[in-house]
Amino acid sequence: MKIAVVGTGYVGLVSGACLAEFGHRVVCMDKLAERIDFLRQGSIPIYEPGLDDLVARNVEQGRLSFTTDLAEAMADARAIFVAVGTPSVRRGNGYADLSYVYQAAEEIAANLVQDYTVVIDKSTVPVGTARQVQRLIAKANPRAVFDMVSNPEFLREGAAISDFMRPDRVVVGSGSQRAFDVMREIYNPLYLNGTPIVETTLETAELIKYAANAFLAVKISFINEMANLCEAVGADVKPLAKAVGLDGRIGGKFLHPGPGYGGSCFPKDTLALLRIAQEHGSTSRLVEAAVEVNAAQKGRMIKKIRDALGGSEAGKTIGVLGLTFKPETDDLREAPALTILPALSEKGAALQVHDPQGMREAAKIMPECRYLDDPYAVATGADALILMTEWNQYRALDLQRLRELMAQPLFIDLRNVYEPVMMREAGFTYIGVGRLQGA
């Protein structure tokens, strides 16, 4: 099947490359000429493990191409995926900014000239958006023969390809059997391998995405609260999380305390869910609390660092390992580092930092930091070392070398990568999140 993908960011590019790998002919379209030029030259504009090989293979085999021309992308396409951004409206109280979605819809409407086409919304959008897009296209182009589908994406950055190729489930919302049939053809390899496919209405599909992300955000905020409680009562969150997570009804994933969730999805999607509830005269007090706990957690981390430095970070040199919101991505959107580091620097700390993929982008946002090439350079002369993101390359640091390079052997592990006893034996003052010192 010929498929067009509108928006070639994290989701559009990964989806396009994976759909090509399934055997479809895919044209990825984006308005950013720079991005398309880059891709045409064989470069990948984002860091996502395995994506360069996947794209190269499918381009070489003639199944994947890139364009800035929507008419070219849509020619003969039976399915058009919309994967444009839906950020929070700036100072908009959490509302999702749908301007990119509606603009894409207008442009798609103008180019819907061929036979029956399925327009598939892959972006995360508030309930009712797909139906609104349907109305908008029908009004702009009354002759268009099309159906609307909501097919939210659940991939995680850093594991995006395997998440797309081997998802826990695929959600397809529509009011049309003909559209469901096209979706089955698109996802045929997943139907064949028994992947659960949830077919439902447009509105339910849209809400499923927000509900899933909100649940995960609640889970993270819950374990962060438990970590804080552990610190208050003198308990250890690591065995607590393990034991709690071993209950099959709870599950051990997403029970790792840390500096709070970030990224391009959870922060904006939880806020959008709250706005959706509010607009419909409903509430979601659990999600409200998760958002509040998450904001407070970043503040707690700043205080934790300040207290460890004797009450003030002024004049101190702080080394920071990791900036991105999680490992294996270059995405810095809403990363806790973007809240925590400026707060420390404002109070007079000198920051020297490292991240395997995030430094180029971070330098634009936080010019006050010194960007260094490796973790040991970051430790040199530091009064404290903060492990902010659990990249694999920070998991087996040469502790003796670190300690010798540092001005003070203070290690603040915001991801609980290391064990308190081992760090104490290596000569560090070690502070984790919710960890018992003797553990």
List the one residue from 3, 12, 54, 388 that touches ligand NAD (CB under 6 A).
12
Please report which residue ranges of 234-374 form alpha helices under DSSP H. 237-245, 266-279, 285-308, 337-346, 359-365
Size of the site for ligand NAD (CB under 6 A): 27
Angstrom distance (rounded) from CA 1 to CA 34: 28
Other beta carbons within 10 Å of 220? 21
- Token output for 101: 């979605």
* Residue 30 touches ligand NAD, criterion: CB under 6 A: yes
Judge whether 265 counts as a catalytic residue: yes
* Residue 112 touches ligand NAD, criterion: CB under 6 A: no
Q: What is the three-class DSSP state of 200?
A: strand
Angstrom distance (rounded) from CA 121 to CA 80: 8
Among the candidate windows 4-12, 226-234, 243-251, 348-356, which touches ligand NAD by CB under 6 A? 4-12
Q: Which is nearer to ligand NAD, 151 or 408 (CB)?
A: 151
Q: Which amino acid is at 82?
A: V
Angstrom distance (rounded) from CA 167 to CA 152: 12
260 and 295 Cβ atoms separated by less than 8 Å: yes
What element of type H or E holds 371?
A: strand 370-371
- Token output for 91: 């100072």
* Residue 434 touches ligand NAD, criterion: CB under 6 A: no
Other beta carbons within 10 Å of 350? 18
What element of type H or E holds 135?
A: helix 129-140
- Nearest approach, Cβ of 301 to ligand NAD (angstroms)? 23
Angstrom distance (rounded) from CA 399 to CA 261: 28
Question: Of 18, 28, 265, 369, which one is the catalytic site residue?
Answer: 265
- Nearest approach, Cβ of 164 to ligand NAD (angstroms)? 10
- Nearest approach, Cβ of 306 to ligand NAD (angstroms)? 32
- Nearest approach, Cβ of 117 to ligand NAD (angstroms)? 16
List the one residue from 157, 206, 383, 413 that touches ligand NAD (CB under 6 A).
157
- Token output for 54: 């996947």
* Residue 7 touches ligand NAD, criterion: CB under 6 A: yes
Q: Which positions from 229 to 258 touch ligand NAD by CB under 6 A, shown as an x/- string?
A: ------------------------------
List the one residue from 79, 265, 290, 362 that touches ligand NAD (CB under 6 A).
265
Q: Which positions from 393 to 432 touch ligand NAD by CB under 6 A, shown as an x/- string?
A: ----------------------------------------
Catalytic positions, please? 265
Which residues of the shown chain bind ligand NAD in the complex (CB under 6 A)? 6-12, 29-32, 35, 83-86, 100, 103-104, 107, 123-124, 153, 155, 157, 264-265
